[in-house]
Structure 1
Amino acid sequence: LIARALLLEPDLLLMDEPGNHMDVLAMSQLQQFLQRGCSSAFMIISHDQYLLNNVCTKTVFLRNQQCSKFELAYNQARIQLQQQDLQAKARLLSEEKEISRLKTTAKRLAIMGRENDNVKLARKAKSIQKRADKLDANKTACVEASGLKLNLNNLALRARQMLLIENYQVMTPDSSSRLLCIEQLIIKPGDRVAFLGINGVGKSSTLESILRAYQQPSEPAKIRFHPRTQLGYYDQELHLLDNNCSRIDWLRKMTKATEEQLKSVLIKAGIHYQEFDRCVSQLSGGEKARMMFLAFSLNQPNLLILDEPTNHIDLQGKQQLTEQLMSCGATLLITSHDRFFLQQIVTRWLWIDNGTLREVNSDDAFYQALLDATPVPKQPPESTLMQPDAVDIALGIRQVPAEHSEEEILGRIDILEKKLQMDKRQKHKRQKPGLQQQWQTEIEQLWQSIT
């Protein structure tokens, strides 16, 4: 989709969550393109903090139907926004004190006016009450925190190991071929483990294999759990919420909580009572993610398998999730293309490379390997007669062979003339004089070849 948009050579490129379903290799290539190869201005909506920090020079926060604009990358802009929020809270506190003082004064004057039958005092009380109401209606607005909450309390299991995998082969979903072989993997209680690898190497399949072994244990078991393991699973497509249950019915099905606990956790998450019966299949991605974490809060698992947990969570919710995962003590197995999220949480790194699983000290080697494998864009060669340009290649336009017909040459001329006209209609600073000259030269050569 991004390539299709770029073929039009736009002045402005709009991107809505471009990295949601990209693996780390594609994200790395996208980042490099936006940093070095994109000549268009662009606006991007993304929950990937690492991407925003590396490609954006301006940040706009949309909150409470208002825009807050900063000439800064995301992290620096967020610090300034937090400072503004602190100032707003201080102003709000001062305004609420003044409103309380005015209301108290108005009430006292109104009582005195009634008791003494004093019209002047009663009129004064009404005037002060109006001032208090006006100040209350226009008081400083403060942004509420995200409704995403994950409360996992004291879940560290006191044991030597939580999970043991020995001589296990991870297969493709149709079991036709092997993705990787795990000779031995020991996961200890409290480990926060990230699985690294490009798309298709078996990250999600490995997590699904662990889930199946927990749900359907077999003998001899190559994947073994501690007897007190309580597992929670978050899949990136949120398939567990693709049904016609209401919010509260879904939680009844997924947990063993009482009715009071179900209602309490929904209300604390900011869900109004009228929304309890809303069908979960109609919820947005962010609302579905919130429901998954509410179920975790009720079930209190001590082993969490998280497959791309940040795909549907906004930046504020992601920060809250990070803090809660770091403090809860649960053992975590995570796959994510969000490098910033992983770097904050993870204590162990497992890299799936060429069908093997190996532990590395950090994610640096993995991302450096991605950069080394990413081809550096080359400058196009000098134009020759009928030589394809990058746009022609991307569009799949058939090039005229050495013995080309007159009809094919005229078709090529028509394409080049349209591209030339489109480029000349752009603003002067957006035009490409080099390409214009190249297209004009080729047009002249083509006309000479048929005259």
Structure 2
Amino acid sequence: MTSLNLRNVGVVAHTPLFQNLNLAIGEGDRLGLVAGNGAGKSTLLKCLAGVIEPTHGDIVRSRGLSVALVEQDVPAPLLDLSFHDVLHRALPADEREGQEWRVDMVLDEFETPEDLRNRPMRALSGGWQRLALIARAWITQPDMLLLDEPTNHLDLEKLFKLESWINTADYTAPIVVASHDRDFLDACTTRTLFLRPEESIAFAHPYRRARDLLEAHDASAQAQREKTLREVKRLRQSAQELRNVGINSGSDAAQIKSAQIKRRADALEQTARVLHRERPGEIRLGNRGTHARLLVALENVTVEAPDGRRLFMIPKLEVAQGDRIVVLGRNGAGKSQLVQLLHRAMLAPDGLPGIRVSPSLALGYVDQDMRQLPDKATAHDFILSRFRLGDQRSRAVLTEAGFSIERQALCIARLSPGQKARLGLLALRLSEPNFYLMDEPTNHVDIPGREQLEAEILEAEATCIVVSHDRSFVTAIGTRFLLIDKGRLREIDGPEAFYESILG
């Protein structure tokens, strides 16, 4: 049964985000929505929810269809409400009385700890805020659920919990998911829509299989375009030869035939579509190099929580040039605290007790929330003042990174999370480090950007310590894996056993 139909739907914002989109979404569908940052995923979800109207076309909904949209940010009016009250107030006003059991049932379904249930939303971690918004939508029992980047800020435990919940949810209402997490899309979707400005393309497969089919589709389209353009060239040569014959011989018939062939060539050229090109923006990591073999050494170091609690002990750890270390551990184990401790040690002139840092180490640091970016500055002013490239070069590198001239002039606070992430990674590149310390560097980065970052890390032979919940990213770059477990840091062969322990 079809719940919603899109007929020639398009949205224009300065330029088309998407157009001529025809799509049916029905019972049991699990649709993955894939596109680059700023390419229209959130806009399409809002159109599906009825929050905004498309520029062109029609969206036809089944009579009485209820749609719940889970956006990326917590609405301001909810920040001071408790987790419990956020769910309770999501119920229709005339149904709230005597319905506490429904709230408790959903909190149990999401395995929410008791001590979080009455905590204000602003005091919850980013991951629990995401799950709270999903639970808030779910409790209304919608006929269609729309999820915008649901895995952002989720640690692996919550990510697996969300995957399991989507796959075992006891209902057949359709779910539409916009996400950059390749493994999550493969685990939770059965269809994929690649959203494009010219021609959006859908396949009845999860992401990776659909992407293979998309690449085959694009290769076929490219071959057809080249064939068409060769024919256009041949026709124009024929038209020119006939025109010359007509001029030299005074033959009107040859001139008329030449004009006819030229019109055929012009019409055929119009059918040779300009093919879609992803523009992830250039996230190129520099590596200024160092002759030091050992860049960081830790011995008998204790990592503590902000309140002074001991989290874990590091008996000994050496980071050599070329190591790409991935730090694993359950939520709260201390991964981010380790990154912050190393960050302080690398900025201190003489390191910190138990931590030795090579004098030749040049640090490149990425915070998962991009807090190192000045909110009040524009992207252009930030790059210009920080790296002193000159006005023209600053604009050029921002354009290469996917920032239009209009976006370069916006305050950083007004940029989308994905654009902030891209700006932070650009700044990382321009600082030309030889050591990368990165806490969730792919947060909010689109799939082409993640793959570009993976390629650049490998190509630059970067030395790095990384915390990441992106399983594809971890597999692509990791050469060493450290697990924080039971108050100690130990090296393991790979991440698979850790992932299985979370699932178990």
TM class, shorter-length: 0.7 to 0.9
Whether the 8 Å contact between 2:282 and 2:402 is mirrored in structure 1 is no
Q: Deviations over 1:343-377 (max 9, x none)?
A: 121111111223321211111221222122xxxxx
Q: Could you list the runs of 5+ residues in structure 1 that have no partner in the other structure? A: 373-451
Listed as ranges, the matches of 1:122-201 within 5 Å are: 122-152=255-285, 157-173=290-306, 175-201=307-333
SS of residue in 2 equivalent to 1:365: helix
Identity, in percent, stands at 34
Q: Deviations over 1:219-249 (max 9, x none)?
A: 6643222222111111111123342323232
SS of residue in 2 equivalent to 1:27: helix
Q: CA deviation at 1:135?
A: 2.9
Whether the 8 Å contact between 1:169 and 1:180 is mirrored in structure 2 is yes
| Aligned match of 2:193 | 60
Q: Could you list the runs of 5+ residues in structure 2 that have no partner in the other structure? A: 1-132
By percentage of residues, which structure has more helix? Answer: 1
Whether the 8 Å contact between 1:193 and 1:332 is mirrored in structure 2 is yes
For the pair shown, which has the larger CA radius of gyration, 1 or 2?
1
By percentage of residues, which structure has more strand? Answer: 2
Tell me how far apart the structure 1 counterparts of residues 373 and 231 of structure 2 sit (CA, whole Å).
48
Tell me how far apart the structure 2 counterparts of residues 279 and 35 of structure 1 sit (CA, whole Å).
40
Tell me how far apart the structure 2 counterparts of residues 270 and 133 of structure 1 sit (CA, whole Å).
33
Tell me how far apart the structure 1 counterparts of residues 242 and 453 of structure 2 sit (CA, whole Å).
50
SS of residue in 1 equivalent to 2:195: strand
Tell me how far apart the structure 2 counterparts of residues 275 and 132 of structure 1 sit (CA, whole Å).
39
| Aligned match of 2:13 | none
Whether the 8 Å contact between 2:434 and 2:463 is mirrored in structure 1 is yes
Listed as ranges, the matches of 1:226-237 within 5 Å are: 226-237=358-369
| Aligned match of 2:141 | 9
Distance 1:255 1:11, change over 3 A: same
Q: Deviations over 1:271-322 (max 9, x none)?
A: 4456543433322222222222322332221111221122212222222222
Q: Are 1:251 and 2:383 an aligned pair?
A: yes
Q: Deviations over 1:395-447 (max 9, x none)?
A: xxxxxxxxxxxxxxxxxxxxxxxxxxxxxxxxxxxxxxxxxxxxxxxxxxxxx
Amino acid paired to 1:8: T
Within the candidate set 183, 188, 206, 1:50 is matched to 183
Within the candidate set 154, 170, 182, 1:22 is matched to 154
Amino acid paired to 1:22: L
Distance 1:172 1:254, change over 3 A: farther
Q: How many residue pairs are counted as aligned between the two chains? A: 371
Tell me how far apart the structure 2 counterparts of residues 134 and 101 of structure 1 sit (CA, whole Å).
14
Q: Are 1:348 and 2:480 an aligned pair?
A: yes
| Aligned match of 1:449 | none
SS of residue in 2 equivalent to 1:96: helix
SS of residue in 1 equivalent to 2:294: coil
SS of residue in 2 equivalent to 1:183: strand
SS of residue in 1 equivalent to 2:298: strand
Tell me how far apart the structure 1 counterparts of residues 426 and 453 of structure 2 sit (CA, whole Å).
12
TM-score (norm: length of structure 1): 0.74
Whether the 8 Å contact between 1:61 and 1:67 is mirrored in structure 2 is yes
| Aligned match of 2:470 | 338
User: Please, which moves more after superposition, 176-185 or 28-37?
Assistant: 176-185
Distance 1:14 1:111, change over 3 A: same
| Aligned match of 1:79 | 212
Over the aligned positions, Cα root-mean-square deviation in angstroms equals: 2.6
Whether the 8 Å contact between 2:280 and 2:448 is mirrored in structure 1 is no
Amino acid paired to 1:17: E
